[in-house]
């Protein structure tokens, strides 16, 4: 019979795979971003993501379990749609709005995943793991909010205005 502890490790492996995939996808998004603010935010989150993988490594080490062995198909799908978005929009405010839309789907997926494992770690009385997962959860939430503020800070309006201008 599988235990809650097994299920916890399975979830963590899925997240590990997701984060690893994200470190490969973010540089492409950084390159495709048109606005400096968006590019810098994505670059910053790439560095944060590397730190999140380090935290997961520490948790796996403590659990005495390898981090690998599972591929997150959910993240694979989200990132593949993200690449599609980059390919089908030229660099500019609209392209940036699409990058943000897809990046926020990734952040929400991560927030859901970390919220669960943080709660499970508490329940399993894995206090160090719970604390590390909480730190990452906070970073994911901040990354999501930053993306919202970039979108609301004029980028959306610029994209819409540009379109209106182009139709004249």
- Least Å distance, CB 109 to Zn ion, is 8
Span from 72-80, 94-102, 121-129, 130-138 in contact with Zn ion (CB under 5 A) = 72-80
Q: How far is the C-alpha of 73 from the C-alpha of 69, rounded, in Å?
A: 13
Cα–Cα–Cα angle for 19, 24, 27, rounded to 5 degrees = 120
Residue 72 interacts, among Zn ion, Fe ion, none and using kind-specific CB cut-offs from 5 to 8 Å, with Zn ion
Residue 35's binding partner out of Fe ion, Zn ion, none, with CB under 5 to 8 Å set by partner kind: none
* 9 in contact with Zn ion (CB under 5 A): no
Among 14, 19, 107, 139, binds Zn ion (CB under 5 A): 14
Q: How far is CA 133 from its chain centroid?
A: 14
- 72 is an interface residue for Zn ion by CB under 5 A: yes
CA distances from 28 to 22, 31, 51, 103, 115 (A): 10, 5, 19, 12, 27
| 39 vs 70, beta carbon nearer Zn ion | 70
Listing DSSP states for 56-85 in one string gives HHHHHHHHT--S-S---HHHHHHHHHHHHH
Question: Of residues 67, 79, 137, 140, which one binds Fe ion by CB under 5 A?
Answer: 140
14 binds Fe ion (CB under 5 A): no
- Looking up tokens 């502890």 gives 5
Under rule CB under 5 A, residue 74 binds Zn ion: yes
C-beta atoms surrounding 33 within 10 Å: 23
Q: How far apart are CA 33 and CA 40, in angstroms?
A: 9
Residue of 38, 93, 95, 110 interacting with Fe ion (CB under 5 A):
110
Residue 52 contact among Zn ion, Fe ion, none, beta carbon within 5 to 8 Å by kind: Fe ion
Residues that bind Fe ion (CB under 5 A): 49, 52, 110, 140
Residues that bind Zn ion (CB under 5 A): 14, 72, 74
């Amino acid at each position: 019979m599988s235990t809650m502890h097994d299920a916890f490790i399975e979830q963590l492996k899925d997240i590990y795979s997701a984060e690893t995939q994200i470190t490969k996808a973010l540089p492409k998004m950084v390159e495709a971003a048109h606005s400096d603010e968006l590019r810098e935010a994505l670059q910053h989150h790439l560095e944060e993501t590397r730190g999140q993988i380090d935290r997961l490594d520490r948790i796996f080490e403590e659990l005495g379990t390898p981090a690998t062995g599972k591929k997150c198909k959910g993240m694979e799908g989200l990132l593949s749609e993200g690449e599609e978005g980059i390919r089908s929009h030229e660099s500019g405010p609209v392209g940036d709005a699409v990058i943000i839309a897809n990046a926020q789907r990734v952040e929400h997926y991560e927030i859901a995943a970390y919220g669960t494992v943080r709660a499970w770690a508490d329940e399993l009385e894995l206090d160090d793991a719970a604390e590390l997962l909480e730190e990452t959860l906070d970073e994911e939430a901040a990354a999501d909010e930053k993306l919202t503020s970039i979108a609301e800070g004029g980028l959306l309006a610029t994209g819409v205005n540009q379109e209106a201008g182009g139709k004249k």
